[in-house]
């Protein structure tokens, strides 16, 4: 089938090419000075003390768990409505993900269900800022503090979003971002960890480069020593090529967020005039950055048929994301009924910087007729 309007299209121009060329000309293309520059700029943007650039958000989550001492048999409370990378990072540590149900309006972790699933094996909470809207961090942090739990924010979709006066990802013990192609700020692949804790930062940085200091740090030092490998680390570092793209993307981040919020408002206005579908709710305490635009269909409509028909018309729609606990890999006994309901009814519609209002008008007309066909 021919896709006329894709689900996403990253926004690049000649600046990215120019920055990449500088890196290629320098001869230093692995982790080096451009990564340091990207980390420094990200720290300034988020007002975060420590930033560690990594290969993707999954590695960021894994490193956070390792640095916090999560090990075999521990329980990590994970928001259920999320791409399974969140739960997978827990399995990497041989720990047990305990899935927490979500609130039906924001699609984010339900603090009441979180409270009910804490046991004496619980060590950490991973709330997810779903599709770019921050979770209710005041309540989550309060519950975590009362139960001596650490908090890792899965902010994969929410770079630049704000919870009250703080950026998402900067509230918990660590925050983990994704720079995948679908994100508002993209390096193709890539991720970033932020933390105010110097000890955690040093630990995660070391673990991200096989358990030793990075090559650029060693080469730029006045002294020489042969590094020793005293523990198992990982090859989770970001390259300077990817960082070069991130440097340019970060400069226009606010512009991209502003435009996507305008497009989301246009989608909202059109969907509010339609039956059997509701635009995504906006919480009163957050600034949503709309990594994805994900409305919800009324019960009784076949979401998959709607997606299929839209694709036949050249509109690339998709599911919102997954109810993790029903995925066979987890064999989870935990019940998250709201997450399953939202999983079965949400639909991701095209949302990206270069999208035009006229295209949204066209898609909404197709969507209206498609819903009527499957009703």
d(CA 171, CA 127): 11
Say if residue 111 is in the same domain as residue 49: yes
Say if residue 277 is in the same domain as residue 130: no
Say if residue 198 is in the same domain as residue 311: no
CATH number at residue 257: 3.90.1150.10
Domain assignment of residue 9, yes or no:
no
Instruction: Give the number of domains in the chain.
Output: 2
Domain assignment of residue 338, yes or no:
yes
Q: What are 297-307's pLDDT values in tens digits?
A: 999 999 999 99
Say if residue 171 is in the same domain as residue 26: yes
Say if residue 242 is in the same domain as residue 119: yes
CATH number at residue 112: 3.40.640.10
The separation between the first and the last C-alpha atoms of the chain, rounded to the nearest angstrom, is: 24
Predicted confidence at residue 310, as pLDDT, reads: 97
- Answer with the one of 193, 217, 251 that is the final residue of a domain: 251
> Residue 370: which H helix or E strand, with range?
helix 357-374
String of b and e for 242-279 (b: at least 16 CB within 10 Å)? bbbbbbbbbebbeebbebbeebbeebeebbeeeeebeb
Predicted confidence at residue 218, as pLDDT, reads: 53
pLDDT at 334 over 90: no
Q: What are 310-333's pLDDT values in tens digits?
A: 999 999 999 999 999 999 999 998
Domain assignment of residue 6, yes or no:
no
d(CA 21, CA 34): 12
Say if residue 41 is in the same domain as residue 101: yes
Domain assignment of residue 83, yes or no:
yes
pLDDT band at 1 (very low <50, low <70, confident <90, very high): low
- Answer with the one of 216, 251, 286 that is the final residue of a domain: 251
Residues 48, 170: contact at Cβ < 8 Å?
Answer: yes
Kindly tell me the burial class for residue 175, based on how many C-beta atoms sit within 10 Å of its own C-beta (0-12, 13-18, 19 or more). Answer: buried
Q: Record the pTM.
A: 0.95
Domain assignment of residue 323, yes or no:
yes
> Residue 252: which H helix or E strand, with range?
none
Domain assignment of residue 7, yes or no:
no
Percent of the chain at pLDDT > 90 equals 91
Say if residue 308 is in the same domain as residue 351: yes
Q: Read off the pLDDT of each residue in 97-101 and give the average, rounded to a whole number.
A: 98
> What is 32-45 written as a DSSP string?
SHHHHHHHHHHHHH
Q: Read off the pLDDT of each residue in 75-80 and give the average, rounded to a whole number.
A: 98
Say if residue 240 is in the same domain as residue 261: no
User: What is the number of other CB atoms lying within 10 angstroms of the CB of residue 164?
Assistant: 12
Q: What are 197-249's pLDDT values in tens digits?
A: 999 999 999 999 998 865 555 565 667 778 888 889 999 999 999 999 999 99
Q: Which residues contact 63 (CB under 8 A, 6 or more apart)?
A: 52, 54, 193, 204, 207, 208, 234, 236
d(CA 126, CA 62): 12
Say if residue 349 is in the same domain as residue 242: no
- The SS3 of residue 59 is helix
Domain assignment of residue 3, yes or no:
no
Q: Read off the pLDDT of each residue in 9-26 and give the average, rounded to a whole number.
A: 96
- Answer with the one of 236, 251, 266 that is the final residue of a domain: 251
At 308, list the tokens: 């299929």
156 vs 231, which has greater pLDDT? 156
Say if residue 197 is in the same domain as residue 285: no
Window from 2-11, 58-67, 151-160, 212-221 with minimum mean pLDDT: 212-221
Beta strand 162-163 with 166-167: parallel, antiparallel or unpaired?
Answer: antiparallel
Domain assignment of residue 61, yes or no:
yes
Say if residue 206 is in the same domain as residue 264: no
Q: What is the largest CA-CA distance in the chain?
A: 71
CA–centroid distance for 233 within its chain: 24
Range of the domain at 300: 253-374
> Mind spelling out the 3-state secondary structure of 131-144?
HHCCCCHHHHHHHH
Predicted confidence at residue 375, as pLDDT, reads: 83
Q: What is the mean pLDDT of the chain?
A: 95
Q: Which residues, listed in sequence order, are joined to residue 348 by a DSSP beta bridge? A: 318
Say if residue 247 is in the same domain as residue 261: no
Residues 371, 306: contact at Cβ < 8 Å?
Answer: yes
Q: What are 255-265's pLDDT values in tens digits?
A: 999 999 999 99
């Amino acid at each position: 089938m021919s896709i006329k309007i894709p689900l996403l299209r990253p926004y690049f121009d000649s600046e990215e090419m120019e920055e990449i060329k500088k890196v290629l000309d320098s001869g230093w293309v692995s982790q080096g000075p451009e990564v340091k520059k990207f980390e420094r700029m990200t720290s300034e943007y988020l007002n975060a003390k420590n930033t560690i650039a990594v290969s993707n958000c999954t590695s960021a989550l894994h490193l956070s768990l390792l640095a916090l001492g999560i090990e075999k048999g521990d329980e990590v409370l994970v928001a259920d409505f999320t791409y399974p990378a969140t739960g997978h990072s827990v399995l990497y540590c041989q720990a047990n993900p305990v899935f927490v149900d979500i609130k039906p309006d924001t699609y984010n972790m339900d603090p009441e269900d979180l409270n009910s699933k804490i046991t004496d094996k619980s060590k950490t909470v991973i709330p997810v800022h779903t599709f770019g809207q921050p979770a209710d961090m005041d309540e989550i942090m309060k519950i975590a503090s009362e139960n001596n739990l650490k908090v890792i924010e899965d902010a994969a979709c929410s770079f630049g979003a704000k919870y009250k006066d703080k950026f998402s990802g900067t509230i918990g013990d660590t925050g983990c971002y994704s720079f995948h192609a679908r994100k508002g700020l993209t390096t193709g692949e890539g991720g970033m960890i932020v933390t105010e804790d110097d000890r955690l930062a040093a630990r995660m940085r070391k673990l991200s480069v096989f358990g030793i200091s990075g090559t650029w740090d060693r080469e730029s030092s006045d002294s020489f020593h042969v590094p020793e490998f005293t523990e198992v680390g990982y090859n989770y570092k970001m390259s300077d090529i990817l960082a070069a793209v991130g440097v340019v993307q970060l400069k226009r981040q606010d512009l991209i967020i502003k435009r996507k919020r305008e497009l989301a408002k246009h989608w909202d206005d059109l969907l509010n005039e339609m039956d059997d579908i509701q635009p995504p709710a906006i919480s009163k305490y957050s600034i949503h950055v709309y990594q994805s635009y994900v409305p919800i269909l009324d019960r009784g409509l076949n979401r998959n048929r709607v997606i299929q028909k839209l694709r036949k018309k050249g509109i690339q729609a998709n599911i919102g994301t997954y109810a993790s606990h029903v995925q066979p890999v987890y064999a989870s006994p935990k019940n998250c009924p709201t997450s399953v309901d939202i999983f079965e009814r949400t639909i991701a519609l095209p949302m990206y910087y270069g999208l035009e209002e006229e295209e949204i008008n066209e898609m909404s007309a197709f969507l209206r007729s498609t819903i009527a066909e499957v009703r």
